[in-house]
């Protein structure tokens, strides 16, 4: 045992437990096993609160956002050039300073799965839009369904500015406790109503496990969550941590700012969450979402869009998870700060705190995508949400170019559009040339495993686009199956995934030779663009910046009618 108050630094991890006694504090230091006691320290409450707290402020008043960066890991290693501070309770009441020579190794045992409820959602409506709520409710009641409402979103404030992300989810039927059954039932409801039905998840009990953090002979053992950050350097500055996760989907190593915490998940593995200042996370998001060599004004436009989207999603995504957003394309791509360049930092700093809001003062859902294909899409055609005036599809063509995709484009219009020279701003950028126009062949053996995820287990005789959006993207696709029955897939993302991740749903279809059952050997999708097509065209933004437009002009085009506002 080391002497109280002495930091051994080199050979053993030092445990510091601070206990307030009036105006005095007692500090104990030793190399041993610590058990973080939930009853005395409120540890269990802190773990539960992670599933409710969606944004907070640090001591300097800077907004912090928790972002998941890894999942299903069997082992997590946390290290830093200055050593690692292991915070057993999240508030510093129990902590270990582990030396820098070795990483802190985190594992888990005694895992318990969560308990969740899966509802069948039919619409998400702004909480204060009572007219829209009644309209949607009455439509589904007329189809013979009982309609229930569930609240999502939250209200919070940044530097005195109140922000409201609340929405109401309208649901039909009774919730179920099993995800597979929920997916199957949702598909049945959608087929019967010929409308999209999505899954809305709520959590009754979060996953549980005993977590073990070990370093240099010391061990911290706690239920459900442990926090980590870099130890301060000689000047008191706190740097980044390096996190290595192994197991599950493979090995992943990230450099992360701020603090990380580790929690159990339903895979029997560990999820790693990075909680840091939004502006720090934003540098990593911009580095992951757009070319580092993009023109400066395009980088600024991306920073504004990503910041707005992060703050607008607070309380809406991952309501049953211990974080606000994920680091995948479902929310925003984020791979830590390893690839962050000086130019990206400059773009983020130049637009610090700047967001896009609508005429009601609400942050807009600042969606973005890689390439529009020459025309952006209405937000309500891509997702089950209300139309938004700042997210209307429109041509994204150079001055003087003729828009061939007018109204709701026909197949003839789309064929002419694909055959003509690409006169979009994306083409003018000189980037992403392989996805401006593309062709993808899908054989029966290639698409059937993906259709099976949608509950369709037969080969396909024919495909018919029943409905397109203003960009020409397919948003309802009818499949005639081998036995003659018909199934409809709703939503451009589901359509793309059903045929092995097509680049977009702006396509025309060619059919291969048929067998005796009338099933084509393959389908060829000839298309344009990459992604859902809503909001900022990232490659188009590069083209606009290359031709001299500022980030204000760029965001003004892709989010027409919105206004730039500095929150902090």
Element (H, E) at 433: helix 433-436
What is the reported pLDDT for 555?
A: 98
Residue 24 pLDDT class (50, 70, 90 cuts): very low
What token pair was written down for 431? 């980037």
179-183, 215-219, 302-306, range with the lowest pLDDT: 215-219
- Comparing 26 with 419, the larger pLDDT belongs to 419
Across 211-239, average pLDDT: 91
The crossing angle, in degrees rounded to 10, of helices 538-546 and 296-312 is 150
Stated length of the chain: 568
Q: d(Cα 32, Cα 15) in Å, to the nearest integer?
A: 8
* 81 close to 239: Cβ distance less than 8 angstroms: yes
Q: Strand 252-256 vs strand 33-35: parallel, antiparallel, or unpaired?
A: unpaired
What does pLDDT average to over the chain? 89
Bridge partners (DSSP) listed for residue 124: 169
- Residue 521 is predicted with a pLDDT of 97
Least confident of 99-103, 351-355, 451-455: 99-103
Is it the case that residue 372 has pLDDT exceeding 90? yes
- Poorest-confidence range of 96-105, 144-153, 182-191, 208-217? 96-105
Does the pLDDT value for residue 301 go beyond 80?
yes
Contact status, residue 337 vs residue 280, Cβ threshold 8 Å: yes
Return the CA Rg of the chain.
26
Strand partners, 440: 525
| Nearest of 217, 224, 212, 272 to residue 41 by alpha carbon | 224
Q: How far is C-alpha 318 from the chain's CA centre?
A: 9
Cα–Cα distance for residue pair 104/168, rounded to 1 Å? 43
Q: Residue 287 has which token pair? A: 């580095």
Q: Enumerate helices (H) and strands (E) in the chain, giving the number of each.
A: 15, 33
The 10s digit of each residue's pLDDT in 438-489 is: 999 999 999 999 999 888 999 999 999 999 999 999 999 999 999 999 999 9
Q: What is the pLDDT of residue 42?
A: 56
pLDDT, residue 328, reads 87
Q: How confident is the model at residue 91 (pLDDT cuts 50, 70, 90)?
A: low
Inform me whether the pLDDT recorded for 56 exceeds 50.
yes
Contact 12, 217 (CB under 8 A): yes
pLDDT band at 287 (very low <50, low <70, confident <90, very high): very high
The H or E element spanning position 122 is strand 115-126
Among candidates 121, 153, 152, which has minimal Cα distance to 136?
Answer: 121
Mean pLDDT of 121-150: 94
Query: Which tokens sit at 248?
Result: 């599950």
Q: What is the pLDDT of residue 44?
A: 67
**CA–CA gap between residue 228 and residue 235 (Å, rounded):** 19
In sequence order, the 6+-apart residues with CB closer than 8 A to the CB of 165 are 153, 154, 155, 312, 313, 314, 315, 316, 362, 363
Would you state the torsion angle of the CA atoms of residues 172, 175, 178, 180, taken in this order, to the nearest 10 degrees? 0
Alpha carbon of residue 247 to chain centroid? 22
CB 189 within 8 A of CB 197: yes
Q: By C-alpha distance, which of 269, 252, 270 is closest to 261?
A: 270
Distance of CA 464 to CAs 103, 191, 458, 477, 489, Å?
56, 16, 16, 6, 11
Which residues contact residue 415 at a Cβ distance below 8 angstroms, ignoring those fewer than 6 apart?
508
Cβ atoms 269, 279 nearer than 8 A: no
Q: What distance in Å separates the CA atoms of residue 325 and residue 317, rounded to the nearest whole number?
A: 6
Buried b (16+ CB within 10 A) or exposed e, 258-290: bbbbbbbbbbbbbbbbbbbbbbbbbbbbbbbbb
């Amino acid at each position: 045992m080391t002497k109280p108050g002495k930091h051994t630094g080199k050979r053993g991890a030092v445990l510091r437990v601070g206990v307030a006694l009036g105006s005095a504090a007692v500090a104990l230091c030793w190399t041993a096993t610590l058990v973080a006691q939930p009853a005395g320290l409120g540890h269990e409450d802190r773990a539960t609160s992670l599933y409710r707290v969606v944004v907070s402020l640090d001591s300097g008043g800077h907004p912090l956002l928790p972002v998941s960066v890894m999942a299903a890991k069997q082992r997590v290693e946390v290290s830093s050039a200055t050593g690692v501070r292991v915070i057993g309770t999240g508030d510093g009441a129990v902590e270990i300073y582990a030396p820098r020579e070795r990483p802190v190794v985190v594992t888990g045992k005694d895992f318990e799965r969560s308990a969740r409820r899966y509802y069948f959602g039919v619409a998400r409506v702004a909480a204060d839009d009572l007219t829209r709520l009644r309209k949607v409710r009455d439509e589904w009641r007329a189809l013979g369904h009982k309609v229930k409402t569930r609240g999502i979103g939250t209200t919070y404030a940044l530097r005195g500015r109140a922000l409201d992300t609340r929405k109401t989810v309208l649901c039909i039927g009774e919730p179920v406790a099993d995800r597979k059954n929920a997916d199957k039932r949702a598909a049945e409801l959608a087929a019967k109503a010929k409308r999209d039905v999505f899954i809305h998840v709520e959590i009754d009990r979060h996953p549980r496990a005993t977590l073990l953090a070990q370093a240099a002979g010391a061990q911290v053992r706690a239920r459900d969550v442990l926090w980590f950050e870099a130890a301060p350097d000689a000047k008191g500055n706190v740097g980044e941590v390096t996190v290595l996760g192994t197991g599950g989907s493979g090995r992943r190593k990230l450099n992360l700012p701020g603090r990380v915490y580790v929690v159990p998940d339903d895979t029997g593995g560990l999820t790693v969450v990075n909680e840091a200042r939004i502006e720090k996370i934003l540098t990593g998001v911009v580095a992951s979402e757009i070319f580092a060599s993009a023109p400066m004004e395009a980088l600024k436009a991306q920073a504004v869009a990503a910041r707005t989207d992060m703050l607008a999603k607070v309380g809406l995504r991952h309501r049953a998870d211990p974080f606000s957003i994920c680091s995948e394309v479902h929310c925003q791509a984020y791979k830590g700060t390893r690839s962050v360049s000086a130019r990206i930092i400059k773009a983020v700093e130049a637009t610090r705190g700047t967001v896009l809001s609508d005429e009601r003062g609400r942050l807009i859902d600042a969606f973005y995508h890689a390439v529009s294909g020459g025309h952006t899409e209405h937000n309500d055609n891509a997702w089950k949400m209300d139309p938004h005036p700042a997210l209307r599809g429109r041509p994204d063509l150079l001055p003087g170019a003729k828009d061939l995709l007018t109204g709701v484009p026909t197949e003839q219009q789309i064929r002419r559009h694909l055959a003509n020279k690409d006169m979009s701003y994306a083409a003018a950028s000189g980037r992403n040339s392989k996805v401006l126009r593309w062709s993808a062949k899908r054989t029966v053996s290639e698409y059937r495993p993906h259709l099976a995820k949608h509950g369709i287990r037969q080969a396909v005789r024919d495909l018919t686009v029943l409905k397109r959006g203003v960009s020409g993207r397919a948003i309802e696709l009818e499949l005639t199956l081998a036995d003659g029955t018909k199934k409809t897939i709703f939503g451009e993302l589901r359509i793309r995934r059903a045929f092995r991740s097509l680049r977009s749903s702006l396509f025309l279809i060619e059919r291969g030779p048929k067998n005796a059952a009338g099933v084509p050997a393959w389908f060829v999708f000839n298309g344009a663009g990459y992604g859902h097509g809503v909001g900022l065209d990232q490659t188009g933004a590069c083209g606009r910046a290359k031709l001299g437009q500022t980030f204000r002009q760029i965001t003004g085009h892709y989010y027409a009618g919105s206004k730039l506002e500095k929150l902090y």
